[in-house]
Every structure is written in structure tokens, then in C-alpha cells.
Amino acid sequence: MVAHNLNIRSAAAAGSAPGRRSLWKKRKLRMKPRKMRDGVHWLGAVDWNRRLFDSLIPLPDGTSYNAYLVEGSEKTALIDAVDPLLLDMLQRQLAHVKRLDYVIVQHVEQDHAGGIPWVLEKYPDAKLLCSPMAKDLVVTHLHVSEERIQTVADGETLSLGNKTLTFVHTPWVHWPETMSTYLAEDRVLFSCDFLGSHIASSALYSGTDPRVLEAAKRYYAEIMMPFRTMVRRNLKKIRELDFDLIAPSHGTIHDHPELILNAYEDWASDRVSNSVVIPYISMHGSTELMVNHLVAALAERDVRAHKFELTTTDTGKLAMALVDAATIVIGSPTVYVGAHPLVYSATYLANTLKPKAKYAAIMAPTAGARKSSSKLPA
């Protein structure tokens, strides 16, 4: 075993890209389809090693790309696919599935739809179902011919025999074309990105694991927070359905749905906590002194302070703190004629995420302040 690992390392260090790829393939953990209900299986890929999404979002706990196979007495449907990076995992899971009648694309982003062209090629008689908003995206990004696409209206049902799928349009969580799929007979809601979390786990279900809620909050903060109004609207919509399981396209399946629904309702509400988010940069210590003074003063008044030094900050943690903070105070030294570039970047990101903070302020040490304090480092 040791020799094998050494071989992998040395070949990867020395080796060509194809060599590295085949070695990595051998090292992948391959998950078999996992039964959720009679005729309902989780398929997909757990991406334990991925550490960045969209070249922006840190993934400290990895992620998963969940697909689901629903086999009725007459027809079979696949809900979503996986990121092409791990397509071979889905390919293996589908190896013994001889017939697919429907491929449901709930969302066209690459991490779920990137594997769809391969699925359609394997099952040439399968019809692709998606929301009307998704159709152009499917044609443009996945190069699927229009004849294979059938759009489904909000509330439309599809019979698979003894199982019925209802399509529930849930736009802007987080793309405009996103929809969920409800399986009434088994009381399962397939929610796509909505209510998901970037977490790699060998567990199928979330249970009451607090790490799942933490990962879900991070995911909400990074992906859903800008669409808070739409999140609320969609929460209300799915609350009208009866389900025991929420099966998202990332992370574990929620078998205590109230936990994630209540958390989302809180995050997306207008309620703020008595807390202050303080992203800052300090080049020579002056801004740090001001920030520390502020944090101490807030603590004396029982106001929670979240201090983020921006050269080392995990963007996801900053985003999470912004979910319900009442106040944001930005600290920056002056670089040439403006704020430090990392402060610009963080401020831009915070604006994009549209947090519900009620107050904002900027702290910047002035030249006079630096001169007047002999305690400040040079």
C-alpha cells in the first residue's frame, strides 16, 4: 500500500496530465446508488477534495453533486446530473439502467447539467424536461437539439405510472430558470440548489447534524442571499407541499425538513442580530488599533463583533456573518488616493450579496492621527 501511494505521488509529481488523471481516477471514492424509497435512489458524486467553486467560493468541507433516479411502474426519470469533472461516477451508477424516459434539468449550471449531454447520448429516446426559462440555456450551453426538449409549466404533473412528479418553478434560487420537483407518493421534494449545502459526506441524510446547518448557512450566504425576497416567496410556495424529505443537489438529504426550512426563513427574514461585521486591512497597525478599540467597546456593551482581517479572511465566513448583522464597519488605510484594494474587493462582494444590514460606516486613520500617536508602529 505504501509503495502504491509512493508510486502515485512520484508519477503525479513527474508526470504528464493524462497520467495524473488516470491515477486520480483510481483514487476516487466511488459511491453506489443509494436507496431513499422503493424506486427512488440517490445517484451522484461526492467531491471530497474540491476547495474552490466558481474560482471564488471556498469549500472547506468539499461538496457533492446529487442526481436522483425515480423509477415508476411505467416510466423512469433522472433528476439532474453531475459536474463533468466527476461524470465517471454517474456513468458507473447508470451502467445497469437500461432505459430512461425523462431527464429532468432543474438548473442549467455546469455542476448539475454538465453531464446531461452524455446522459442524452446514452439514452437516445429520453426526453429532456426543463422550465421554459431553461430551454434557451440548455440549447446554448449544453448544445441539445430543440426537438429533444419539452418545457414544463409551473404545477404541471408527469406520471411515471405509480409515481407522479410535479414541477414547481422556484426562480432565482439562484438562477432565473431553476425549478424543484415534487414526488407526492413518496413525499420527497427535489429542491436543486435551493436548501442545499456544500458539504462532502458519506451520510445520505442530514439528521440533526449542526455542521449541515452551518454549511447550509454558508451556502445561503454565498449563493442565495442576494435573492432574499425570492427565497421567501419560494419558501412559501414549497411550504404548501407535504414532504418528509428535501433532496437538494448539493450536500446531504434533509430528513428533518423543518430544521432547514426554519433556518432559511430566519436567514431570509428582515430580522437582524445585534452584531457588527468589521472587515478591515491594516498596513502598519493604525487601522488595527482602531478596530481593536471598536471591538472592545462593543464587547463592553454586549454587542457581538465579527472581526475580519482581509488578507487572511475566509470569504464564506465573512458572507455568513453578513447574513443577519445589523451593522457593517469597514476599516481601511489610504493607499495612494483611495482605500486598500482588498477593501474595495470585500466591499464590492458585500454589496453584491445584498445583506440586510441597517447601518454602515467606514473607519480610516488620518495622517494627523498617525502623527499624533507615538504608540503607533511606523
Q: Which is nearer to ligand FEO, 105 or 330 (CB)?
A: 105
Q: Which residue is nearest to ligand FEO (CB)?
A: 109
Dist. CA 105–CA 111, nearest whole Å: 12
Tell the smallest beta-carbon distance from residue 349 to ligand FEO (Å): 18
Judge contact between 171 and 177, C-beta under 8 A: yes
Q: Which is nearer to ligand FEO, 47 or 109 (CB)?
A: 109
- Residue type at 135 in one-letter notation: K
Please work out the total of residues on this chain that contact ligand FEO, with binding judged by CB under 6 A.
Answer: 8
**One symbol per residue from 294 to 333: x for binding ligand FEO (CB under 6 A), - otherwise; what is it?**
----------------------------------------
Closest to 327 (Cα-Cα) out of 359, 279, 362: 359
Q: Which is nearer to ligand FEO, 50 or 163 (CB)?
A: 50
**One symbol per residue from 219 to 258: x for binding ligand FEO (CB under 6 A), - otherwise; what is it?**
------------------------------xx--------
Give me the half-sphere count of Cα atoms (radius 13 Å) on the Cβ side of residue 63.
26
Contacting ligand FEO (CB under 6 A), which of 107, 135, 218, 307?
107
Site for ligand FEO contains 109 (CB under 6 A):
yes
Tell the smallest beta-carbon distance from residue 227 to ligand FEO (Å): 12
- Residue type at 217 in one-letter notation: K
Q: Which DSSP string corresponds to 155-218?
A: T-EEE-SS-EEEEEE-TTSSSTT-EEEEETTTTEEEEETTT------S-SB-TT-HHHHHHHHH
Q: Which is nearer to ligand FEO, 163 or 250 (CB)?
A: 250
Tell the smallest beta-carbon distance from residue 248 to ligand FEO (Å): 9
Dist. CA 122–CA 260, nearest whole Å: 36
> Segment near ligand FEO (CB under 6 A), from 54-62, 104-112, 146-154, 287-295?
104-112
Closest to 245 (Cα-Cα) out of 154, 170, 182: 182
> Segment near ligand FEO (CB under 6 A), from 109-117, 138-146, 227-235, 264-272?
109-117
> Segment near ligand FEO (CB under 6 A), from 68-76, 107-115, 153-161, 306-314?
107-115
Q: Which is nearer to ligand FEO, 112 or 218 (CB)?
A: 112
Can the peptide bond before residue 174 be classed as cis, meaning omega within 30 degrees of 0?
Answer: yes
Site for ligand FEO contains 193 (CB under 6 A):
yes
Judge contact between 109 and 48, C-beta under 8 A: no
Region label for 132, one of left (φ > 0), alpha (ψ between -120 and 50) or beta (otherwise):
alpha
Q: Which is nearer to ligand FEO, 63 or 76 (CB)?
A: 63
Q: Grid coordinates in use for 42?
A: 440517490
Q: Where are the alpha helices (DSSP H) in 54-157?
A: 87-93, 110-113, 116-122, 132-142
Q: Which is nearer to ligand FEO, 174 or 218 (CB)?
A: 174
Give 42's contacts (C-beta < 8 A, 6+ positions apart).
33, 34, 36, 66, 67, 68, 204, 247, 253
Closest to 165 (Cα-Cα) out of 107, 81, 103: 103
Contacting ligand FEO (CB under 6 A), which of 47, 80, 101, 111?
111
The number of angstroms, rounded, from the C-alpha of 345 to the middle of its chain's C-alpha atoms is 21
Q: Which is nearer to ligand FEO, 219 or 308 (CB)?
A: 219
Region 168-187 residues binding ligand FEO, contact defined as CB under 6 A: 174
Dist. CA 137–CA 108, nearest whole Å: 7
Site for ligand FEO contains 80 (CB under 6 A):
no
Q: Which is nearer to ligand FEO, 135 or 174 (CB)?
A: 174
Q: Which is nearer to ligand FEO, 39 or 115 (CB)?
A: 115
Residues in contact with ligand FEO by CB under 6 A are 107, 109, 111-112, 174, 193, 249-250
